[in-house]
Structure 1
Amino acid sequence: MRIVQLIDSLEAGGAERMAVNYANVLANQLEFSGLIATRKEGLLKEQLVEKVDYLFLNKKKLVDFKAVFKLRKYVRKHKVQIIQAHSSSFFLAVLVKLTLPGLKIIWHDHYGNRIHETKKKHYTLFLASFFFSACFAVNLELQTWILKNLKAAKVFFIPNFTIESNSIVNKTYLKGEINKRIICLANLKNPKNHITILKAFNNTKLNDFSWSLHFVGKIYKDDYFYQLKSFIDENDLEESVFFYDSIEDISFVLSQASIGVLASKYEGFPVSLLEYGNAGLATISTDVGFCSSMIKDGYNGLLFNPEDSEVLKEHFLKLAFNDELQKKVGMNLKADVLKQYSYVEIIKVIITKYNYIINE
């Protein structure tokens, strides 16, 4: 089989990480595995393995005929059978299919808040769906939304997975005291809800006990970021809250933390929870999207409503002063991730779907 992942950028984000993960894993499974970035390159480009065939289109506008014909040429040259278009990259894939009718498109949806939006808001997506051979959804709610609102005949729930990258140099060292670090792995933007984490951490006064809070994710230097900085300054948290921007050595950084937290107001299937699990972190998670299916409250993590900083505060205190609970939920999550979200098993399912779509 000859499969290509299509993604708008390679900046560090959930959908982008999954596009890279798919390309890397499939490179050892298929005859041909490619990855194409349409608009922007980024940090994740360095994580592509050598066997992945990479192309950057440098797309400049919504309908960029230069990019369309460049992609069309690539598809023909490499005899690509399926373009797996992640998130908003579907439009370019459809434009190419109009000139190559035999090409199959799988649209891969990662956008958790779509379930609260109408078909009318996504009319372009609705029209494009007539050209999709299948859709992959990262949670069951998205699968239901697609079945209800789009025209794709086949819609599959495919959970996310993580893989280790052996080529990344360990170079990012967290500040603060060992065994007393809380980490949030999420780009600094809506709907990641960092302010609720800050408020809860401040109210615990854990910094008086040498605990520190670490935000790892792309910093956009916008109003969202400066709101967080203002809160930190107003509450004298400069010596206990730290920002790191995007990093490559995620596994190494997580190994330096004790507690992982995610507070998003909506999610699809957050890769960060899988990464917390791989690291064996005691995890506190928002209860939106697939999070409440993955995290079993009190067993492999703690759940909270993202609007409720008081419950998050209590969860912080519960874990910070209970090493036994920290260890229990962290190890249980690690075991669940290895058992249920191993790329080895999930990729077998995916290849079966590819075969089905190609041969229909």
Structure 2
Amino acid sequence: MRIVQIIDSLEAGGAERMAVNYANALAKKISFSGLIATRKEGTLRSQIDSKVSYLFLEKKKAVDFQSVFRLRSYIKKNKIDLIQAHSSSFFTAVLVKLTYPKIKIIWHDHYGISQDLSSRKKTGLKLGSFFFLGIISVNSALKEWAINSLSCSNVIYFPNFIEDSFSSNEELVLKGIEGKRIICVANLRPQKNHNLIVDTANLFKDKFPDWSFHLFGKDFKDAYSEDLKKKNIDLKLENTVYFYGTTNNVSSALKQCQIGVLASLSEGLPLAVLEYGLHKLPVVATNVGEISKVISNEKEGLIAKSNDLNQFADCIQKLINNESYRIEMGMNLNKKILLNYSQEVILEDYVLWLHSLTNFEI
């Protein structure tokens, strides 16, 4: 089978990471694996495996016929069987199918605000879904939504999978005191609720003055980012909470930290939690999306109510105060991630599902 992933950008985000993960993983399993960025490249460009065929469409507007026919030409030249379109890139995939009907489309839904699916816009998706061979949802709520809202009968839930983080030659040295670092990997967006982390740091600055928080994720230089950083300065936390932006070597950062946190107001299945577990970090996260499926008991991690400062801080304090508990928890979560969310486990089920839809040999 010959499959190409399509994603609108290669900025550091969950959907983008999974498009790269699928392309890289399939390159080891099938005769042709490709990856196409439609609108924008980004930091993940450097993480694409050399065996993956890559194309940047340079799409300029919503309906860009030049990019559609460029993609059509690429698909014909490389004899592509199937497009796996991630998130909003389904629109480009559908336009190509209208010009080249034999191509098949799988839509991969990464929608992160699964707490409020009733308000999700679906008119475009409803029309597009008539052209989908199948739909992959990254959590069970999205699967139910697709079954009830869209016109495609082949809907399946596959959790995100994780592999050992790509490491560049970039040297990364964290601030703060060795052995007393807490990390959060999440782009600076309101739904990620970094304010809860800053508020927790403010509670801890006198109680645990040696501990520090290290925030990694794309800074969009918007009002949310400005307000967050101003708050950090106003609370005099410049030497407690550090902002690093994006990096190609988050693995290096994780190895220098003792606790991983995620304070989100909404999520699908966050790759950050899987990545923490892969690096044997104990985790404190809010109870949103599929997080409670990954962390199902207090031996695997601690879960707090969304936006509950006292509970979130108490969970982190438990880990700060008990190193042996931290180590054991990190090991337990690591075992669960490798057993249930590894590339090998998810790809095996994915390949069987594709074969059942297409009858192509993998």
| TM-score of the two chains, using structure 2 as the length reference | 0.96
Question: Which residue identity is paired with 1:282?
Answer: P
Alignment of 1:1-360 (within 5 A): 1-114=1-114, 116-118=116-118, 121-164=121-164, 168-205=168-205, 208-359=208-359
Inter-CA distance 351–105: structure 2 relative to 1 (3 Å threshold)? same
Task: Please tell me the residue identity of whatever aligns with 1:101.
Answer: P
Q: Report the more deviating stretch, 9-18 or 295-304.
A: 295-304
Contact between 2:114 and 2:266, CA under 8 Å: does it hold in 1?
no
CA deviation after TM superposition for structure 1 residue 155, in Å: 0.5
The answer to whether the 8 A contact 1:193-1:306 is kept is no
8 Å CA contact retained: 2:286, 2:307: no
Q: Which amino acid aligns with 1:250?
A: V
Residue 63 and residue 47 in structure 1: after superposition, are their counterparts in 2 closer, same or farther (change >3 A)? same
Unaligned runs of 5+ in 1: none
CA contact (8 A) 1:6 1:89 kept: yes
Give SS of 2:221's match. coil
Letter in 2 for 1:96: V
Q: Structure 1 residue 18: deviation in Å?
A: 0.5
How far the C-alpha of 1:209 sits from its partner, in A, is: 3.0
User: Offset of 1:338 from its aligned partner?
Assistant: 0.8
Q: Taking structure 1 as the reference length, what is the TM-score of the superposition?
A: 0.97
Q: 1:334 to 1:4 in 2, by over 3 A?
A: same
Contact 1:292 1:303 in 2 (8 A): yes
Q: Which amino acid in structure 2 is aligned with residue 271 of structure 1?
A: L
RMSD: 1.5
CA contact (8 A) 1:277 1:337 kept: yes
- The C-alpha deviation readout for 1:14-72, integer Å capped at 9, x for no partner, is 11000000000100100000000000000101001111000000111111101110111
Deviation for aligned residue 1:207: 6.9
Cα 1:115–1:318 shift into 2, 3 Å = closer
Conserved 8 A contact 1:2-1:79: yes
C-alpha deviation, 1:227, in angstroms: 1.2
SS at match of 1:88: helix
* Number of matched pairs: 360
Which amino acid in 2 is paired with 1:73? S
Superposed CA deviations along residues 138-182 of structure 1, whole A, max 9, x for unmatched, are 111110110010011100111111122566225111111111000
Asked if 1 retains the 8 angstrom alpha-carbon contact of 2:108 and 2:135, the reply is: yes
From the superposition, tell whether residues 338 and 326 of structure 1 become closer, same or farther in structure 2 (CA, over 3 Å): same
Q: Find the aligned partners of 2:64 and 2:118 in 1 and give their Cα distance.
A: 27
The CA deviation at 1:120 is 7.3
**C-alpha deviation, 1:280, in angstroms:** 0.6
| Contact 2:167–2:248 (CA under 8 A) maintained in structure 1 | no
